[in-house]
Copies of this chain bind each other. A is one copy, B any other.
Amino acid sequence: MAKNEKVTIYDISKKLNISAATVSRALNNNPKISEKTRELVMKTAQELNYKQNRLALALKSGKTNSIGVIVPYINRNFFSAVIDGIEKQLTPHGYNVIICQSHEDAINEANHITALLNTQVDGIFMSVSKTTHDTVHIEKILENNTPLIFFDRKKDIPGVSSVTIDDFRGGYMATEHLIQQGANRVAHFCGDLNLEIYRNRHNGFLKALEDYNIPINKNLIIHTNSRIEAGAEAVAKLWAKKNRPDAIFSSSDYAALGAIQELRKLNVKIPEEVGVIGFSNEPFTKYMELPMSSIDQTPVTMGEIAAQVFLEQINNKQHVLSVEKRVVLAPELVIRKSSNKAKSLKGTLPVSTE
């Protein structure tokens, strides 16, 4: 009726002259309630436009039915796709997803953790920021006894589950592919080696060279960040010298894009003179004039599995206090024009081509 007043079970109980306890039980389909009463309550609830106050429930039960996700940026396809996967799995279970961005800043990350814990979320999913070195703020989640799941970028904390992809394998696949296309001077744009994911990609790169008996040339390994400009600068630097590379494996799609733009300016033919492959399979790679090869991280799957791990964890909680599950997904090589010298590759390789 009145706009301001929210309808509670007490309003229903008063109207029907029964106790609030009965109303509560009727609404929850408690079998101890007679069919007659239940129907009456249900009908009245509908009439009064009753809505359960989840806060009261949460306070009583200690469960908020919401989980927090902390990512560097939501504005990156990889992360928003992971969130998509998490949401897809958790919404049917009645969870709300609270999303926070760290903007790659450990301080924001810590603040968000505090806020989420105060909100009493039932679990936290996170991909750590690049500037996160020590983990005291993360361990607060565990002290608070809140389930924590890392995805993609993790820290090694005992008892914490994680879902990642096999970055080593991704790095290996990318490099191997370039070698198979005839390259033997493969450059590598590696990201911040503080982050495990970039270290692993880098190691995969090295191992591929080793397996194919290609000597490692330190001049061809460039430390870049994930920005377009960084890729362009790296190319400028490499082409200023002699002994230029004949292929580039970039740990970032954005840096790879910058590289391609710069190579075009220098009139270098791609993929004939230089093959290029990135990492992440951001949507733009597909839409480019010269579509770019990349490594797909199956982010939606990653989110879905992270959510499943979470659900398992809270269900087993009473039995095993520190379940720990480390899921490693397989990356997928996506070959497009930027690295593909063959006219047509369809059906010739066990990978997706587009």
Contacts and interface: CB of A to CB of B under 8 A. Distances in A.
B66 A75 contact: no
B84 A80 contact: no
Contact of A83 (B52, B54, B74, B144): B74
Interface in A255-288: 257, 261, 264, 283-284, 287-288
Copies assembled: 2
Interface stretch (A117-125, A173-181, A184-192, A305-313): A117-125
Given A97-B99, A288-B289, A55 B64 contact: yes
Contacts of A87: 100-101
B51 A117 contact: yes
A58 B101 CA distance: 24
A290 B287 contact: no
- Residue among A4, A52, A54, A75 with most chain B CB within 10 A: A75
B289 A264 contact: yes
Interface in A1-34: 3-4, 6
A328 interface: no
B143 A49 contact: yes
Contacts of A119: 54-55, 66, 96
A77 interface: yes
Contacts of A287: 228, 257, 261, 284, 288
- Residue among A80, A84, A288 with most chain B CB within 10 A: A80
B56 A118 contact: no
A135 interface: no
A320 interface: no
A52 B287 CA distance: 49
Given A74-B84, A75-B81, A118 B54 contact: yes
A115 interface: yes
17 contacts: A3-B143, A6-B144, A49-B143, A51-B118, A54-B118, A54-B120, A55-B120, A59-B59, A75-B80, A96-B116, A96-B119, A264-B289, A283-B284, A284-B284, A287-B288, A288-B288, A288-B289
9 closest A-B pairs (Cβ-Cβ)? A289-B289, A75-B80, A284-B284, A99-B99, A55-B59, A74-B80, A54-B118, A55-B58, A98-B98
